[in-house]
Amino acid sequence: MRRTRPEAPVSYPPDPNNPYGQPQQTPYGVPPQQNPYGQPAQPGYGYPQQQPAGYGVPPQAPYGGYTPVAPPVLASWGARVGGSIIDSLVIFIPLTIAYAIGFSMLFSAVKNCPVDPDTGVAVCTSGSSSSAGAGVAIIGIGALLSLILGLWQLIREGKTGQTIGKKAVGIRLVREIDGQPLGFGMTFVRRLAHVVDSALCGIGYLWPLWDDKGQTLADKIVSSLVIRA
């Protein structure tokens, strides 16, 4: 049998991209693989492999992407009482001062009015009438100021969960479902629901002492919690 000699490798011009400066050789007459049209080389031998999907991405937090947080700490009954007392003082101190001044002026004006001996009717002078009118005006201003302060406290509590009293003692009113403030509407409903707390000698206000969620009856009606801020 006659032996055939293998064909000599085909030589090509030096490749400028070949770092070793040697001409590329392909055995048995097979032309070298070229990268047409400037396409990037496919991953394989000598090329970086593609990373699998998700590689290098930090793991997702458990529970659907939400990081679990510690449950809120319920406010103590004493802190709630302290906050309510401070809120009452904020509203009633201006009203009390205005009432004290206004009624003093009113009574003083009526007292200084001379009484007609024939008719028995007090006849007030212009000065006494002016003093009485000023006293009535001060009483009205005090009542209006208290109303404005009460409304402002309600708006503040619905928006931030805190009144002046609640902020002073470090507690907050929130929704039970998501821990967000109630909003003005539900905060107003909760204030109205305190009528239920006042029934039966105020038993609803004492309910947080033995309730697992520290809720009054009004809190249960609107699904609210009072927590530590």
Q: Please compute the mean of the pLDDT values over residues 97-104 and round it to a whole number.
A: 91
Rounded percentage of the chain residues whose pLDDT exceeds 90: 50
In a domain, 89, yes or no: yes
pLDDT at residue 173 above 90? yes
Query: 143-149, long-range: CB within 8 Å, 24+ apart, which pairs?
Result: 143/95, 143/98, 145/94, 145/95, 145/98, 146/91, 146/92, 146/94, 146/95, 149/90, 149/91, 149/94
- Name the band, by pLDDT with cuts 50, 70 and 90, for residue 164: very high
**Structural domain containing residue 135:** 77-228
Tell whether 121 is covered by a domain.
Answer: yes
Residue 171 lies in a domain: yes
Mean pLDDT of the chain: 78
Tally of domains in the chain: 1
How many C-beta atoms lie closer than 10 Å to residue 153's C-beta? 20
Other CB atoms closer than 10 Å to residue 96's CB: what's the count?
A: 13
Say if 57 falls within a structural domain: no
Evaluate whether residue 138 is within a structural domain: yes
Pick 178 or 130 by higher pLDDT.
178
24 and 15 in contact (C-beta within 8 Å)? yes
pTM: 0.62
Instruction: Give the tens place of pLDDT for each residue, 14-73.
Output: 555 655 555 555 555 555 555 555 555 555 444 444 444 443 444 455 555 555 566 789
Question: Angle at Cα 146 formed by Cα 145 and Cα 150, nearest 5°?
Answer: 120
For residue 10, being part of any structural domain is answered with no
Q: Is residue 33 part of a domain?
A: no
For 25, phi then psi, to 5°, come to -125, 140
Token output for 94: 């201006």
Domain membership of residue 39 (yes or no) is no
Q: What pLDDT is recorded for position 42?
A: 54
> Cα separation of 148 and 153, whole Å?
9
Confidence of residue 154 (pLDDT cuts 50, 70, 90): very high
Count Cβ atoms within 10 A of the Cβ of residue 185 and give its class: 0-12 exposed, 13-18 middle, 19 or more buried.
exposed
Strands 25-26, 10-11: pairing is antiparallel
Q: What pairs with residue 173 in β-bridges?
A: 226
Most confident range, picked from 9-23, 68-82, 151-165: 151-165
